Structure 1
Amino acid sequence: MTLSPTALVLAGLLLAAWVLVAAWFVLAARGREKRAESALRNARRLARMVEDSPAIPLLVRTDGRIEASPRLAKWLGLERVPQFLTELQEDGAGAGGGGIPVMQLGELADLVRRTQKTGAPFRMVVTPAGSRRSLSLRGHLADPQVSPGGAALVWVFDFSESEGELVRLREDAIRARADFTALVGLIEAAPMPMWFRERDGRLRLVNRAYVEAVQGESAASVVEQQAELVEAVDGLSAAQVALQAAQMNRPIERMVPATIAGQRRTLRLSDLPLGEEGVAGYAVDIEDMEELARSLRAFREAQRAMLDQLSAGVAQFDAARVLVFANQPFQRIFALKPTILLDPPPFERLLDMARDAGRLPEARDFPAWRREKAAWFRDSAAHEEAWLLGDGTHLRVVAQPMPDGGLLLIAEDRTEELRLSANRDTLLRTRTATFDSLFESLGVFAPDGHMQLWNRRFAQDWGLDGEFLDTHPKVDLLLERIAARLQRPAQAKLVGEVVRAATLDRKQTGGRVVLADGRTLEFAGVPLPDGNGLLTVLDITDSQKAEGALRERNAALLEADAVKTRFLANMSYEFRTPLTSIGGFAELLEAGLGGELNDAGRDYVAAILASVHSLGEQIETVLDLSQSEAGLLPLAQEEIELLPFVTRLVEERAGAISEAGLTLDLRGDQSAGRITGDRRRLARVVGHLIDNAIAATPRGGRVLVDLAPTSEGPRLVVSDNGPGMDAATLARALEGLKSGSAAAAPAKAIDRRRGLGLPLARRIVEAHGGTFELLSEPGQGTAAIIQLP
């Protein structure tokens, strides 16, 4: 059958429509399949998410059946999830020992029934039996899409960790509340003012000490009045300083004065920012501390001023071993510069400086020695050492550790002390040797009566045993031994009284005793400067015998002196009477009464008269010298004008001077004045000196007579330029012996100076209160000097 084109078109269209419909169904089926697969994946994902979620759903139907995940059985300690709610009790899980306790399960059942009936949600916490797990149950009416018919959906949360955290937080909260209460009580009972400010600087809380400090009625009134503890300093109030601390988020501490209970006190204020809460503050009364600090500074300054006055060197080191003080003696001993305290060195560096200056003892290993001395800081006991320096200085060094960890170093220069000690030992040995070598007995007694020192002669004189004296006996025991050796034992008390007077009364007394063997001892007590007493004993036995002999000899001398006196009294008559007779008869012969004499007779008479005159002078000289030696020379007291007196004596010898061919130079001054004396004897002295000068001067020589005033009185000098005398000849001339040999002087000079003229001249001048001096040198002449008062 042949189809028309229209039919073919329609058939094609129909087939095309069929294909399109079939294709649409295929595509729709594939879409539904993909959506089903997506829904399944979503369901699985949701189921997995529910399984992995921290909460497990428990569906409780109205008939008591339950539906839940097996995870819930593990949480409850069951092997499997039961069918009914009542089977969740603790004994319904078999031997596992899990489940919900009966009381909690009954409460859960009641809450579930109420929710099913009323739709009211509930919450409760259960703890499975035998487990520490804490489960939170939150129940509400289930959605009809989940379970129609009024089932209850209970979500079970395991909040064991949260519960533990909550318990800990509760305990911390309780502890914090207790601590806060204690802290508030502590702050309230604190003796120092404390406060708290808000962010704007206003006071919010103050304690009781703050209220008492500002003399407020109560803490509330102080806060209400905003009473500040301290006044503004430098234009800044206490609130402004607290705001600065809050802005900088840094504590501010300062010291300000304040008036507390009517007294001016120094407070140390501290403002502590507490974040956004505000600013806390407290004030510490440091007035006592400041007073102690001032006292300590004053004490330290006074101590250091005192240490500067000590002769010992003192240095202080702090806990860091740095020098903080060194007095002047310390700087001098260790040769430190005065600027040492401007840059204080540590202890080890100070030792190095002293070593460089040669003020430390020599050490083979100086670093080890220095470490040994640095260990003084760690010791608790003091150290004392003796240092011998290279220049011979002896130092006594004491290192005293201080409680603050520092060190006090004391250096004392004992060089002089050791030298004095050595000298003292030498003096003691010398004293002992001196005591033992004396002929005099010595004993030293202390004020308490004990014998301290003695020499060997003391034991010998008193007949004492050396062993007994070595016991340093008291004077009472000593007197018992001495009494047994005395001729009169009772005299021993006299020795004790002398010792007691020297030691206690500080008086010097003495005495004399006779021993039984006939010896005589003289003793004396002398107080010593150290409080002891010295007993000196001298054996005067021989001196007593010599004294007796001297008394006898003195009596004989007195008798001889009386004889000499009588002899001198008669000598003038015995010598002069014959001489006067001879002279008288010679003069009669010369006058011609016996007849006219020839020339030879007249020469003989003239010689007799010259001899009589010379012998008369010699007799006068001998008599005057004898009387002067005996102290019996009579001196007349006449007023003598010196210049005319000397001039007359020179003029009387003008002929002799001219005959000898000499030149005489007379020098005088009227200001020489006058003296009072024996004119005749002074004339003999001056005339004798002029005669000696004339006789000793060779022809053509010169004789000088000089009279001049001096500050001590008139002085007369008679000198010549003759041959002079040596020292031995001069001494013999003054003694009245022959002055020299024939070669040294002319025979005439020897004759004139032989005899007693010069000794008599000296004695007459000395009898007038003057001095006589004879000067002579060989070849230079001789000068006689008379100094009158």
Structure 2
Amino acid sequence: MDHDRIVPVLLGLLLGSWTIAAAWTIVSARFRQRRADTIHRSARRLARMVEESPALPLLVRTDGRIEASARLAQWLGLDAVPQYLSELDAGDRGLPTETLAQLTQAVLRAQKTAAPFRMVATPRGSDRSLALRGHLADPQVSPGGAALVWVFDFSDSETELTTLRQEAARARGDFTALVSLIEAAPMPMWFRRPDGALRLVNSAYVAAVAGESAEQVVEDGTELIETVEGLTAGQVAVQAAVRGAPIERLVPVTIDNQRRAFRVHDLPLGSEGIAGYAVDVEDLEEMARGFRAFREAQRAMLDQLSAGVAQFDAKRRLTFANQPFQSLFKLSPAAMADPPAFERLLDAARDAGRVPEVRDFPAWRRERAGWFAADVTREEAWPLSDGTHLRIVAQPVPDGGLLLIVEDRTEQLRLSATRDTLLRTRTATFDSLFESIAVFAPNGRMQLWNRRFAAEWGFESDFLDSHPHIEALLGKISPRLKVPNQAKAIGDVVRAATLDRRQTGGRIALADGRVLEFAGVPLPDGNGLLTVLDITDSQKAEAALRDRNAALEEADAVKTRFLANMSYQLRTPLTSIGGFAELLQAGVGGELSEEGAEYVQAIIASAEGLGEQIETLLDLSQSEAGLLPLSHEDVELMALVRSVVEERAARITRAELSLDLQGSNLVGSIKGDRRRLGRAFGHLLDNAIAATPKGGRILVQVSREKHEGRKFAQVVVSDNGPGMDEEALARALDGLKISGDGRTVERRQGLGLPLARELIRAHGGTLRLLSEPDQGTAAIVELP
């Protein structure tokens, strides 16, 4: 019974053990299955990753067999992976022979020496680039010394590298060109570090600072730009870097001992540094200064013009107006302080009455505003309400502005009207002249003529209206001359007046007996004037005058002989009478009674007076005839006047007069005839004695005077007598005058004053009489 119990138990235990063992086996199998599946999936994943990787393995065994993926065969252009390395060259596909040989040697070397290798291969007929990197395979991968070659497809990388190489080469070329350009630039250029220190300069910079080399200039830190307002060039560059914006400034720079203006630019280049360059703008500045000076000079010149000139900018604002423009448009200083626009200027001009009266002013103003957009110059005439006529010229300028020129033509129009009047007046004057007149142009054609010219020569109006040439005119004149060949003289006169600009003349005789005198006068306009005058009557009068002149010359000769004969015939008897009277007075003819002595004395006094009158008459006659003989000697003027006064001292005393002689010997001497000057002064003094009442006073002054740069001697004889009115003063110098019938002589006054005037005039002097009633008379003598 126990045995029966044990057996089931044992069977149960055995079955339980088997069950447990089976369960364990099943569980373990399932675990291994899952593990195998996991490993298989991992292997497939790894294989797929290898397939998808940019590098494919190529295992080369020691016997030359290879293991690789089908993808590698595609890279090499093969249908499938061959068994041996040597089969990678398929003739027209696969690796080239040289590349395969190189790969085989590298693989053998790696298998024997474990030396890694690298190489590049390009399959036949493909642009794929393959990089091969080989080394000895790990024993876990392949025992027995196989070589593992990793193949990389770097076609894209190669293209990119090629592009990068090209870009790098191009960048190097561009950099070299840029450096060469900077080096060859005529302007100084430089590059600074972020701290402002110089790092690179070009040749122009080195030359500007008179440096030896760019390296030396950079090492020394030689600055081209001087310190301005306490800031160095490096500090200004650092400011540009801090701001992150370029800085531009105009500074003076000394180059070759010359101060020149440079425009300096500092350009920040991020963290690399600051670039800079300097442009020489001295010529531009000089040009700008010259332009400003030219503009100022031009505006100053425009202010001197009589025409008004105004300039408007592209915004139609007035930028300049000279003084005539301001005057013509009545612009006030306030308006020029705030220059108006073109439209507002027209409005102001309308208010001032300086534009024409128009029906639609806004439309008229818009039309004038269109001048700014016009492409041609516009010109208008503006008649104003006050009678002023303005000429307006609107000239568009390239900058969109407008140049407005205003000219007041009022006076010009008046002159034009006056000119037309003068032309009509000239025509009327020409036609009314007594002379024949014709005007010829330099080409020989007749331009103008008067009616008398046509009548003088007998020309027809139709012929003159054709403005004939001088040769055709001479052909008409020649038959009318007494000597036809003399017509050439008229042509010569016309040519001399028009071409040679000389005034010539001549005289011709006509066949009808008339005598014409002609002359050619050059006119200011280049033409020549031919004047013809009929001198037939004057020729006859000239012949008569010539005969009369011969008769007068004969009469003058008779007069001369008469004066010479009269001088002898009068002087000889008078000298005899005086001589015999003196003999009787001396008692040669016997003792005279007291009454007889008085008679003799009266005869002598009468003879002396008659002799004096004869001398006066002869001197006056000879002086008027121009036959008065004069001697030229040095005459002391004061001594001469004193002697004349002393000779008349007795007469002055008898007339109970006083005489005052003023002057000195410093007056000097003059050139003249002593005797005749004494007679002239004596007659002046005699007239003063005769005209002065008892108790009167006579003043004689002798002096040297200077007037208007002319020096002369002056003798004044004055009295305080009754004086003379203007009529008596005029008769005082007439003396003897032939009566109206020419048969008798009319005596106006004594002969003393006329003789004195003639004697003084013969010495080149003058005699003036000044007199007023009740104020006395003064005789003023001026001698050179």
| Amino acid aligned to 1:397 | V
Query: d(CA) in 1 for partners of 2:197 and 2:172?
Result: 26
Distance (whole Å) between structure 2 residues aligned to residue 412 and residue 30 of structure 1: 122
1:388-787 equivalences under 5 Å are 388=382, 393=389, 395-397=391-393, 399=395, 401-402=397-398, 408=403, 410-414=405-409, 416-418=411-413, 420-421=415-416, 423-425=418-420, 427-429=422-424, 431-432=426-427, 435-436=430-431, 441-445=436-440, 451-466=446-461, 469-470=464-465, 472=467, 478=473, 481-487=476-482, 515-517=510-512, 534-537=529-532
Query: Does 2:189 match 1:194?
Result: yes
Shift of 1:454: 0.9
After TM superposition, list the pairs within 5 Å mapping 1:164-175 onto structure 2. Answer: 164-175=159-170
Distance 1:82 1:320 in 2: 88
1:499/1:533 contact within 8 Å kept: yes
Q: Which moved more, 1:385-394 or 1:448-457?
A: 385-394
Superposition TM-score, scaled by structure 1 size: 0.58
Deviation at residue 286 of structure 1 after TM alignment: 1.6
Matched, 1:82 2:82: yes
How many angstroms apart in 1 are the aligned matches of 2:220 and 2:472? 96
What is the one-letter code of the residue matched to 2:62? T
CA displacement, residues 727-778 of structure 1 (integer Å, 9 cap, x when unaligned)? xxxxxxxxxxxxxxxxxxxxxxxxxxxxxxxxxxxxxxxx9xxxxxxxxxxx
User: Cα deviations across residues 162-195 of structure 1 (Å, max 9, x unaligned)?
Assistant: 2122112222222222332333233222222222
Per-residue CA shift, 1:609-650, capped at 9, x if unaligned? Answer: xxxxxxxxxxxxxxxxxxxxxxxxxxxxxxxxxxxxxxxxxx
Which residue among 239, 242, 245 is the counterpart of 2:237? Answer: 242
User: Could you tell me how far apart the structure 2 residues matched to 1:472 and 1:545 are?
Assistant: 35
The 1-side partners of 2:185 and 2:152 are apart by 49
CA, structure 1 residues 312+154, in 2 after alignment: closer, same or farther (shift >3 Å)?
Answer: farther
Query: Partner residue of 1:275?
Result: 270
**Per-residue Cα deviation, 1:643-691 (whole angstroms, up to 9, x for no partner):** xxxxxxxxxxxxxxxxxxxxxxxxxxxxxxxxx9xxxxxxxxxxxxxxx
DSSP-derived class of the 2:251 partner: strand
2:251 pairs with 1:256: yes
Q: Does 1:42 align with 2:42?
A: yes
Secondary structure of the structure 2 residue equivalent to 1:80: coil
> Residue 281 of structure 2 aligns with which residue?
286
Contact 1:362 1:389 in 2 (8 A): no
Q: CA RMSD in A?
A: 4.9
2:110 alignment partner, SS class: helix
AA aligned opposite 1:47: A
1:304 aligns with 2:305: no
Deviations 1:538-577 (A, max 9, x none): 66889999999xxxxxxxxxxxxxxxxxxxxxxxxxxxxx
Cα displacement string for residues 312-363 of structure 1 (whole angstroms, at most 9, x for unaligned residues): 3444566787765443445566777767777777889988988998748979
Superposition pairs of residues 54-65 of structure 1, within 5 angstroms: 54-65=54-65
CA distance in 1, matches of 2:321, 2:24: 115
Provide the residue aligned with 1:634 in structure 2. Answer: none
Mapped contact 2:355–2:382 kept (Cα < 8 A): no
CA contact (8 A) 1:351 1:370 kept: no
Q: CA deviation at 1:149?
A: 2.1
SS of residue matched to 2:119: strand
**Cα displacement (A) at 1:444:** 2.8
Pairwise CA distance, 1:234: 0.7
Following superposition, the deviation at residue 109 of structure 1 comes to 1.5
Classify 1:360/1:325 alpha carbon distance in 2 versus 1 (closer, same or farther; 3 Å): farther
Q: How does 1:155-170 map to 2 (within 5 A)?
A: 155-170=150-165
Alignment of 1:337-348 (within 5 A): none
Counterpart code for 1:457: R
> 1:444, 1:455 → 2: CA distance?
10
Q: How far apart are the structure 2 equivalents of 1:197 and 1:439?
A: 100
Does 2:137 align with 1:137?
A: no
- Name the counterpart of 1:103: 98
The residue number in structure 2 matching 1:636 is none
Say if 1:363 and 1:369, in contact at 8 Å, map to a contact too.
Answer: no
Shift of 1:14: 8.6
Q: Separation in 2 of the partners of 1:450 and 1:526?
A: 16
Instruction: Indicate how the Cα distance of structure 1 residues 451 and 133 shifts in structure 2: closer, same or farther if over 3 A, else same.
Output: same
CA change 1:30–1:230 in 2 (3 A) is same
Change in Cα spacing, 1:479 to 1:338, as seen in structure 2 (3 Å) is farther
AA aligned to 2:72 is L
CA separation in 1, counterparts of 2:484 and 2:389?
58
- SS of corresponding position for 1:128: coil
Q: Check 1:485–1:245 CA distance in 2 against 1; reply closer, same or farther (3 A cut).
A: same
Deviations 1:279-313 (A, max 9, x none): 22222222222112211211121122212322334
Task: Note closer, same or farther for the CA distance 1:79–1:9 as it changes in structure 2 (3 Å cut).
Answer: closer
Q: Quote the Cα distance in structure 2 between the aligned partners of 1:360 and 1:443.
A: 46
* Aligned counterparts of 2:214 and 2:435: Cα–Cα separation in 1: 99
Distance 2:84 2:42 in 1: 30
1:100 is paired with a residue of what secondary structure?
Answer: coil
Q: Is the 8 A contact 2:510 2:516 kept in 1?
A: yes
CA-CA distance at 1:115 after TM superposition? 1.8
1:478 deviates by: 4.4
AA of the residue aligned to 1:263? Q
Report the AA paired with residue 204 of structure 1. R
Say which is worse superposed, 204-213 or 426-435, in terms of deviation: 426-435
Residue identity matched to 1:71:
R
Cα deviation digits, residues 234-275 of structure 1 (max 9, x gap): 111111112122222222221211211111121222222222
TM-fit CA distance, 1:411: 4.8
Check 1:19–1:409 CA distance in 2 against 1; reply closer, same or farther (3 A cut).
farther
Q: Does 1:73 align with 2:73?
A: yes
Q: Which residue pairs with 1:624 in the alignment? A: none
Note if contact 1:502-1:508 (Cα within 8 Å) is conserved in structure 2: yes
Alignment partner of 2:87: what SS? helix
- Structure 2 unaligned residues grouped into runs of 5+: 544-690, 692-724, 728-747, 749-772, 775-784
1:712 shift after superposition: 11
Counterpart CA distance in 2 for 1:42 and 1:315 is 97
What percentage of residue pairs aligned between the two structures are identical?
A: 66
Deviation string, structure 1 residues 357-377 (Cα, Å, up to 9, x no partner): 87489799769956964444x
Structure-2 separation of matches of 1:386 and 1:535: 43
**Code of the aligned partner of 1:220:** E
Unaligned 5+ segments in structure 1 are 92-96, 549-675, 677-710, 714-766, 768-787
Deviations 1:488-523 (A, max 9, x none): 657768867987898799999998766434566676
Please tell me the residue identity of whatever aligns with 2:88: L
Alpha-carbon distance between aligned partners in 2 of 1:11 and 1:110, rounded to the nearest angstrom? 73
DSSP-derived class of the 2:480 partner: coil
After TM superposition, the score normalised by the length of structure 2 is 0.58
1:463–1:485 Cα contact (<8 Å) kept: no
**Cα displacement (A) at 1:476:** 6.9
Deviates more, 1:177-186 or 1:335-344: 335-344
Q: Secondary structure at the match of 1:305?
A: helix
Counterpart of 2:252 in 1: which secondary structure?
Answer: strand
- Matched position secondary structure for 1:484: helix
Q: Secondary structure at the match of 1:155?
A: strand
Gap change, CA 1:180 and 1:494, over 3 Å in 2: closer
Distance, in Å, in 1 between the alignment partners of 2:355 and 2:118 is: 93
Per the alignment, residue 671 of structure 2 pairs with none
Number of residue pairs aligned between Structure 1 and Structure 2: 546
Deviation at 1:159, TM superposition (A): 1.7
